[in-house]
Copies of this chain bind each other. A is one copy, B any other.
């Protein structure tokens, strides 16, 4: 079917572009690790908080790439709104290097910790919008619609937790950061639902 080929090409380029942007984001993160001026082991000390933030953000961007990869894998059709919802997600992800550096350089202060969560919240919302648009385009009875539809507890819980963490950061930054780490851990478990549906459903 010719249309399938055309859609395949469109999907391939949307994947390639997303891969490119996410690959650059994940690598640009490390540019915020400024080379220390001294040559002793102690000179590394001020880099440590930035490094810890780097690890967390690397994991977050990795989670997004992983989930994005699985979701697009199950997608059949690319529409105009899907392309823009995808760019919208990439926009918020592209701000992660900025919030990571601000939080790291200020030793996990209140405002930077809140902003870090705000960008995570906005990225989560953007991901949710993208997911809804894809489900709407594929239909609720589609492979993806069924896989996601039942219980998307992680996708629903994460934004709630970020929304709690943001005001909390002004009271206890450490508590907010603990929430960010916790949410990352729940996502590190791969999304078996889609994976399974794709494997059994078809390809």
Contacts and interface: CB of A to CB of B under 8 A. Distances in A.
Interface string A154-177: 000000000000000000000000
A73 B9 contact: yes
Q: Please state the number of chain copies in the assembly.
A: 4
Nearest to A5: B203
A190 B35 contact: no
Contacts of A94: 26-27, 29-30, 58
Interface string A1-39: 011111101100111110111111111111111011001
15 contacts: A2-B203, A9-B73, A13-B15, A17-B22, A17-B65, A20-B22, A21-B27, A24-B24, A30-B95, A32-B35, A35-B101, A35-B105, A39-B109, A44-B111, A66-B84
